[in-house]
Amino acid sequence: MNGSSLSNKPSFHAQALLVGERIELRTLETSDCLAIAPTAVQVHGGGVAVLFRYGTVVLFDVAPMEQATFLNQLQSMITHPYETPEIKTAEVCAWNGTSSS
């Protein structure tokens, strides 16, 4: 799945995680990046992750198993990781531009 395929779905799951004080993005392979500002990467197994240097990861359409694997791979890049990340979730739904009223 690439980032553009998210726009073809009627809805998808998004999750923001505050994982630590900082993420060292300079150590990330630039060949893996879908975008640089903010840094977005494709997650193996499907979905997209947007990484912010201030310690936040936002996952779009990433299954729980792939999420755990991806976050584990990030551990060496996280400065002062939090034992329990703060998590916010949302279901993102497409809007077709019409009103139902």
24-34 pLDDT tens trace: 998 887 667 89
Distances (CA, A) of 9 to 24, 40, 53, 92: 31, 19, 28, 10
Q: Look at residue 40 and tell me whether its pLDDT is greater than 90.
A: yes
pTM listed for this prediction = 0.82
The whole-number pLDDT of residue 3 equals: 47
Domains of the chain by residue range? 3-93
pLDDT at 79 > cutoff 80: yes
Q: pLDDT of 50-73, one tens digit each?
A: 999 999 999 999 999 999 999 999
User: Residue 42: what pLDDT?
Assistant: 93
